[in-house]
Amino acid sequence: MSSKAGKALIYCRVSSKSQEQEGHGLESQEIRCREHARLKGYEVEAVFPDTITGGGDFMKRPGMVALLSYLDAQPFENYVVIFDDLKRFARDTRFHLDLREAFRSRGARIECLNFKFEDTPEGEFIETIMAAQGALERKQNGRQVAQKMRARMINGYWVHNAPVGYKYRTEKGRGKVLVADEPNASIIKQAFEGYASGRFESQAEIKRFFESFPDFPRNKKGIITQQRVTEILGNPLYTGHICSERYEIDWLDGQHDALISIQTFDKVQARRNGTAKAPMRKNIGEDFALRGFVCCADCKTPLRSSWSKGRSKYYAYYLCQTKSCKSYGKSIARDKVENEVGAIVKDMKPHPALLDLAKTMFRHAWDQRLDQFSDAVLSAKRQIKTIDKQIESLLARIMDASNATVIKTYEEKITDLERDKLILAERAENRLKPQGSFEEKLEPALQFLANPYKLWETGQFIMRRIVLRLAFEEPLAYHLKQGARTAELSLPFKALKGHSMTK
């Protein structure tokens, strides 16, 4: 061992970036430690900073790992490790003692600006007590923070990171409150409503929908993962309610505005829990809009799609791959099939007189629906009163019950009733009432009925899939030689295509 004992290493740590930025951080600690080294006559050789909480395993702190590795790389040097407070060392009794041993085994001494380490039984006892006190303070602080966060969530305020579609805004007297973050809020709403209604068949299609917006949040690699889609679709925060398993909070009214209704959220969850869709492969992506919609006229099996390599380029084809079919292995050029389907869509344009009549009928139905909402509100309020009585009855039974299983059953029933109340409250508060005028809401649909080919001729995958689902009742049969068979149109187009609207 060399006799050089005048070399020092400084360790600094703060628990968060905010401490560092607010002036209670690494720089002030380093200045104090350097002053201590100067007074002791030490030469500071390196500084190891950390921005991480003091609880837990010290080997999860990058700065501490680097410090220990530095000592391992120079085993014949006697270093003094300086830090300004015992709490910067470790705030967990067991890890404090383990870290103390880690330095001792490497021949390094440790010095603290406000605590003197002594290698005596009394010194070790006091050091253990101080370490235990630090651990106690850390756990007490954690408990206080958790209690405050739970209390704020009970008051209807979300306390974690804002999900996509929301952002935090500081309001006087309320603190940070979630508010809609446009245009992402509208995109999220369209995704939920589209999946609930069947416009999007799978989460893979929702992923592509998100990807069609360049400014939609992506990860560090610039992509939108399927995990992000799953997290969005399963987040009840978008209904305007607070839920947290950690804090045992279930469907409390939030202080933020809802993007979707609870009914829409429930429909999405029902679809997510249904039959899983096969993951999207490259050859069934945006290159083949008719994949799964056009079937072989001979065997009624959906046509497959593929790219085939020619001499100088690739060619897109639809083909039947049913071995027992006489059309097996025979391919049809993608453009030929899609152009024929496009011609069918183009021919759907109804007569102007029939369209005017349809518009009048829609307006009449719109007015009727508005009247129905008033009746629905009154009915919802009556049902809420009934549910309140049921909850009161169950609470009384819980007070009288002593069996844990019975109590749990009552509590689960109360939870279900409370959720039913939330759905009814949406009706009672007119949350489900159509917002805006007839022209704002239904004119776009009428424009689509007037000329669906406008969407088709954009050539966009999503737009063409929308046309197929809205315009056709069932898959379209296609024959290798005879082309597209007679299409079964959906009800609106079937009616507008007929000679009379009376039916």
Sequential DSSP letters for 96-142: HHHHHHHHHHTT-EEEETTB----SHHHHHHHHHHHHHHHHHHHHHH
The pLDDT score that the predictor gives to residue 428 is: 66
Q: Closest Cα partner for 177 from 186, 188, 166, 185? A: 166
Average pLDDT over residues 137-157: 77
Does residue 3 surpass a pLDDT of 50? Answer: no
**Which of 20-24, 97-101, 151-155, 244-248 ranks highest by mean pLDDT?**
151-155
What total of structural domains would you count in the chain? Answer: 4
Does residue 135 surpass a pLDDT of 70? Answer: no
DSSP string across 376-396: HHHHHHHHHHHHHHHHHHHHH
The pLDDT confidence band at residue 278, using thresholds 50, 70 and 90, is: very low
Q: What is the CATH number of the domain that holds 217?
A: 3.90.1750.20
Q: Which of 22-31, 51-60, 160-169, 223-232 has the lowest mean pLDDT?
A: 51-60
Q: What is the CATH number of the domain that holds 13?
A: 3.40.50.1390
**Which of 355-359, 406-410, 490-494 ranks highest by mean pLDDT?**
406-410
Does residue 78 surpass a pLDDT of 90? Answer: no
Domain boundary among 102, 120, 148: 148
Domain boundary among 120, 148, 176: 148
Q: Is residue 2 part of a domain?
A: no
Domain boundary among 243, 260, 280: 280
Average pLDDT over residues 201-208: 87
Reported as a single tens digit per residue, the pLDDT across 455-483 is 888 888 878 888 888 888 888 888 878 88
Q: Is residue 161 part of a domain?
A: no
Does residue 279 surpass a pLDDT of 60? Answer: no
The pLDDT score that the predictor gives to residue 435 is: 60
The Cα 306–Cα 286 span in angstroms is 12
Average pLDDT over residues 86-101: 72
Q: Which of 139-148, 162-171, 233-242, 294-303 has the lowest mean pLDDT?
A: 139-148
Are residues 360 and 339 both part of a single domain?
no
Is 160 in contact with 246 (CB distance < 8 Å)? no
Reported as a single tens digit per residue, the pLDDT across 284-333 is 456 888 888 888 888 888 888 888 877 778 888 888 888 888 888 888 88
Structure tokens at 461: 């995958």
Domain that holds residue 82: 7-148
Are residues 63 and 122 both part of a single domain?
yes
| Cis amide leading into 183 (omega within 30) | yes
Q: Is residue 458 part of a domain?
A: yes
Reported as a single tens digit per residue, the pLDDT across 211-253 is 888 889 988 888 899 999 999 999 999 998 888 888 778 888 8
Q: Is residue 154 part of a domain?
A: no
Burial (0-12, 13-18, 19+ Cβ within 10 Å), 80: buried
Does residue 440 surpass a pLDDT of 80? Answer: no
The Cα 365–Cα 369 span in angstroms is 6
Percent of the chain residues topping a pLDDT of 70? 82
Are residues 473 and 332 both part of a single domain?
yes
Q: Is residue 480 part of a domain?
A: yes
Are residues 305 and 246 both part of a single domain?
no
The pLDDT score that the predictor gives to residue 298 is: 87
DSSP 8-state code for residue 489: B
Q: Is residue 236 part of a domain?
A: yes
Q: Is residue 335 part of a domain?
A: yes
Q: Is residue 156 part of a domain?
A: no
Average pLDDT over residues 37-55: 82
Does residue 265 surpass a pLDDT of 70? Answer: yes
The pLDDT score that the predictor gives to residue 398 is: 85
Are residues 361 and 373 both part of a single domain?
yes
Are residues 257 and 324 both part of a single domain?
no
Are residues 66 and 142 both part of a single domain?
yes
Is 123 in contact with 117 (CB distance < 8 Å)? yes
The pLDDT score that the predictor gives to residue 118 is: 62
Is 283 in contact with 270 (CB distance < 8 Å)? no
Reported as a single tens digit per residue, the pLDDT across 109-123 is 888 887 776 666 765
Does residue 349 surpass a pLDDT of 60? Answer: yes
Reported as a single tens digit per residue, the pLDDT across 216-226 is 998 888 889 99
Q: Which of 41-55, 68-82, 246-260 has the lowest mean pLDDT?
A: 41-55
Average pLDDT over residues 91-103: 75
Mean pLDDT for all residues in the chain = 80
Does residue 345 surpass a pLDDT of 60? Answer: yes
Does residue 43 surpass a pLDDT of 70? Answer: yes
Supply the pTM of this predicted model: 0.50
The Cα 270–Cα 284 span in angstroms is 25
Are residues 462 and 345 both part of a single domain?
yes
Are residues 258 and 329 both part of a single domain?
no
Are residues 468 and 339 both part of a single domain?
yes
Q: Which of 129-138, 235-244, 373-382, 442-451 has the lowest mean pLDDT?
A: 129-138
Dihedral pair phi/psi, residue 377, rounded to 5° = -65, -45
Are residues 425 and 464 both part of a single domain?
no
Strand 79-83, strand 43-51: pairing: unpaired
Does residue 280 surpass a pLDDT of 80? Answer: no
Q: How crowded is residue 445: how many other Cβ atoms within 10 Å of its Cβ?
A: 12
Taking phi over 0 as left and psi of -120 to 50 as alpha, with beta for the rest, 13 belongs to beta
Q: Which of 11-25, 151-165, 439-453 has the lowest mean pLDDT?
A: 11-25
Q: How crowded is residue 493: how many other Cβ atoms within 10 Å of its Cβ?
A: 20
Are residues 340 and 248 both part of a single domain?
no
Burial (0-12, 13-18, 19+ Cβ within 10 Å), 332: buried
